[in-house]
Structures are given as C-alpha cells and as structure tokens.
Structure 1
Amino acid sequence: MQYFYAFLWFAVGLILLFSMTKESRIFYFAGGFFLFLGAWWLADALMPEMKLFEGGWGIALRCVTGGALLILAAAFVREYRQKRREAVTGKEKKPDK
C-alpha cells in the first residue's frame, strides 16, 4: 500500500508541475511538496527500519507539512481576495507568469 501512496503523490506532484503551473506559480511549490511526499513514502517503504513516520522523522514531516499548508493557504486566500476584488471593481489581473 505504501508504494501506491508513493506513486499517488508523485503523480499529483507531476500533474501540478506540468499542467497547473500555467495558472499560477504557486503550483511549482505545491508540486514540489507532493514530490517530496512521494519520496518520503517511497523511502519509508524501501527502508522500514528507519520508521520515517515515527519519532523525530515524523515530527520533521509534520513540521514541513504544516509549513507547506500555511504557505499554500496564504496563497489561496490572497488569490481568492484578489479575484473577489476584481469581480467587484470589474478589473482583470494580468496572468501570473
């Protein structure tokens, strides 16, 4: 099952990197984060004696995940507010490159 999760995270990361980055640059970060998760799951599957989800390694993963969540949530809120403001004023924003 761990190999399936690793494959899933890699697939999501690659989709975000190659198809969603046209919409916003934040998807580079999101895609990279999911590739990181895929590598983490794969490493845990290949080296079960390290127990990457327990102890200090588990805390490190939770800290990285929390940081990524904060960054992505802040980007989402900023984008949401900007689009809402544009809808009220009727102005369009230039595409994010």
Structure 2
Amino acid sequence: MHYIYAVMMLAAGLILIFSLSKENKVFYVAGGYFLFLGGWWLADCLLPEADLFAGGWGIVFKVITALVLVVLVAVFVKEYRKKGRDPGEKERPQGPKKD
C-alpha cells in the first residue's frame, strides 16, 4: 500500500511541475516537494527498519515540510493580495448596480 502512496506523490509532483508551472513558478516548489515526499515514502517502504517518519528522521521531514509550507503560504498571500483581495476577507455578493 505504501508503494501506491509513493507513486501517487511522484505523479502529483510531475503534474505540478510540467503542467501547472506555466501558470505560476511556485508550482516548481510545490512539485519538488511532492517529488521529495514520494521519494521519502518509497525510501520508507524499502527501508522498514529505519522508520523514516519517526525519531530524528521524522523531525527532519517535519522541518522540511514546515519550511515548504511557509514558502507556499507566503507566495499564496502575495498573489492573492496582488489581485486586490485580502485572503481573510469574504467575497461580497455582486448585485445589480444602482445609478
């Protein structure tokens, strides 16, 4: 079952890099992370005695995940604000204009 997760993460990373990176360059970072995640899952499957999601290796994994998440959130907020909307602001319904 872990092999399916690894292949799924690798496929998601490749899709992000090759399909969505034309839309925004941040998808290179997201795709790279998914490739990293797929490799980590695969290594965990192939090395069951190492248990890469626990102990020191688990801390390394969580730190890398947190760093990538911070980068992606910062880019998301920057892009969202560039479009003129604040991410915390709810959408206002557009009604007919009154002259």
What's the TM-score, normalizing by structure 2? 0.83
The structure with the largest alpha-carbon Rg is 2
Task: Tell me the distance in 2 between the aligned counterparts of 1:76 and 1:4.
Answer: 29
Moved over 3 A (4+): none
Task: Tell me the distance in 2 between the aligned counterparts of 1:52 and 1:41.
Answer: 8
Which letter does structure 2 place at the counterpart of 1:29? V
Aligned residue in 2 for 1:10: 10
In the alignment, structure 1 segments of 5+ residues that lack a partner are: 86-97
Aligned residue in 2 for 1:67: 67
Higher relative contact order (CA 8 A, sep 6+): 1
The reply to whether residue 27 of structure 1 matches residue 27 of structure 2 is yes
Task: Tell me the distance in 2 between the aligned counterparts of 1:70 and 1:84.
Answer: 21
Offset, 1:21: 0.5
Which letter does structure 2 place at the counterpart of 1:42? L
Offset, 1:15: 0.3
* Alpha-carbon RMSD: 0.8
* Residue deviations 1:33-57 (CA, integer Å, cap 9, x gap): 1000000000000110111011000
In the alignment, structure 2 segments of 5+ residues that lack a partner are: 86-99
* Residue deviations 1:4-29 (CA, integer Å, cap 9, x gap): 11011101100000000011111111
Task: Tell me the distance in 2 between the aligned counterparts of 1:2 and 1:58.
Answer: 16
Task: Tell me the distance in 1 between the aligned counterparts of 2:83 and 2:13.
Answer: 25
